[in-house]
Structure 1
């Protein structure tokens, strides 16, 4: 049975959907969908299918419906028509899911970041009802949700209260400006329409829209710019044909330099957003790794 619950943080109401494991293993995950900070909801596969899969394997999931940023930064981004005919590539989200526009109030950083902390705190307080130990609550997200999860983990570390048992970041964007792509990444992007390769200028526009004038150097906004010591064991799930993997891989190196237990896995042939294709081998393997990291 899943419950939709309304919480409040940073001056905005937001929702969480709770997926209770029928046979809990004692661990839980607070999970955030992606969508360039502007799109996405709890029904997209990256949120719903992932949560159902984990709950079916003993991990209760709290999926966070955080307040989205303004749509102003969507100007110039690829629309649904640019996804047509690309099913054979794999890993792309369904256009109807990726570009669904919602009527909810919108707000820039730090609203969603603070809501992520509030959702984690709520999960810790409700750990018994989730069938979990409060010290075994992990935190994670995909794409923009991975950014929010990592930033919230820094907030929780700095606050000095209960912190996540693990951090799960699927194809996240962790830098305000993407690190350079190496030759192997550039080669992997060949054959993909330019608009769908997350060119650095498009990512910069998305990130600036999310910040809405806030400091891009704020580590709670883009964690790669911060001190990473003391973060929990971190799993980074990347896609081979994803321009954003330069961010995840650079972040993993920073974590290791900071003494954090970090592991990176790369899904061969997959594109950004592959968790939106639950039947794909990349998604199935990623869920397996998430279960192992949390449980």
Structure 2
């Protein structure tokens, strides 16, 4: 692992590069990865960042984990910790875009196949990744080979759950649910201005998605936010984007933060299989 700091549009950006270890000689696939944390929490040490990066690197993908600047913590979000200053959209989005472009430029230095450089994240980090993919699509230049989204929240308002999911949400304890009002408060805390809730780079769900790269989505089974991941998969398909979506059985939101959970390892295998697919066919054998 290499800890680096690179120049970004809003100052220095700390990153970690996890070189692929289980690979033959030659350039490797790579992934620019953004952890979750409701836009306001999280760091490079959390399992969703560090453990995930280690596991994917051990399976042949070089991972670049991004320590993007966080949104503020306010009383509207939590009463269990002091308020903390932070940054608003588009800072984190622009930082992740900058890291992706940096990875393209420096691919040879780290043995990366620049044509197999993907972009991804978990939860709020998945939203950041999807928004950056739209930003890169519209800006021209290098594009991600694929998108890898773990239990994403990519809509400014949480979509209504289907009956199957609604029953699972109802069975969750209150502290494990994401209520629509809570999701709106979290999203508004990220963008600051209510008008920005409609910005496709902030929340891509419900916007024009044509031209995005092939996308893999892994959702948690018992998770209010699965409504967003499932809706986004349908939107991608309707836009003509190749999409593979799965539901990890028995999991709650954030299960990649649980390295002792066998289901987290199952998701890692799914993610690694997707990243190992050099030709990006929409049908991926996830039984390995």
Partner of 1:34: 36
Within 1, Cα distance between the matches of 2:98 and 2:214? 21
Within 2, Cα distance between the matches of 1:251 and 1:33? 19
> How far did 1:33 drift?
0.3
Q: Is contact 1:73-1:206 (8 Å) kept?
A: no
Equivalent residue of 1:240, what SS?
A: strand
Structure 1 stretches of 4+ moved >4 Å: none
Partner of 2:94: 114
> How far did 1:41 drift?
0.4
Partner of 1:264: 245
Equivalent residue of 1:21, what SS?
A: coil
Partner of 2:174: 194
> How far did 1:193 drift?
2.2
Equivalent residue of 1:51, what SS?
A: helix
Which fold has the larger relative contact order, with Cα–Cα distance below 8 Å and residues 6 or more apart in sequence? 1
Within 1, Cα distance between the matches of 2:76 and 2:247? 28
Equivalent residue of 2:172, what SS?
A: coil
The Cα offsets for residues 220-259 of structure 1, whole Å up to 9 and x where unpaired, read as 0000132100111101110111000000100100000011
Distance 1:194 1:167, change over 3 A: same
> How far did 1:186 drift?
1.7
Partner of 1:162: 142
Q: Is contact 1:113-1:148 (8 Å) kept?
A: yes
The Cα offsets for residues 128-154 of structure 1, whole Å up to 9 and x where unpaired, read as 122221111000000000000000000
The Cα offsets for residues 195-236 of structure 1, whole Å up to 9 and x where unpaired, read as 320101000000000011152111000001321001111011
User: Is the deviation greater in 4-13 or in 255-264?
Assistant: 4-13
Q: Is contact 2:77-2:186 (8 Å) kept?
A: no
Equivalent residue of 2:170, what SS?
A: coil
Matched, 1:291 2:281: no
Within 1, Cα distance between the matches of 2:43 and 2:83? 9
Equivalent residue of 1:139, what SS?
A: strand
- Where does 1:55-134 land on structure 2 (aligned, <5 Å)? 55-72=57-74, 75-76=77-78, 106-134=86-114
The Cα offsets for residues 107-135 of structure 1, whole Å up to 9 and x where unpaired, read as 01000000010011111112112222111
Partner of 1:145: 125
> How far did 1:102 drift?
11
Segments of structure 2 that go 5 or more residues without pairing to the other structure are: 277-288
Which of 39, 43, 47 in structure 2 is aligned with 1:45?
Answer: 47
After TM superposition, the score normalised by the length of structure 1 is 0.88
Partner of 1:91: none
Q: Is contact 1:24-1:131 (8 Å) kept?
A: no
Cα RMSD of the aligned pairs, angstroms, is 1.8
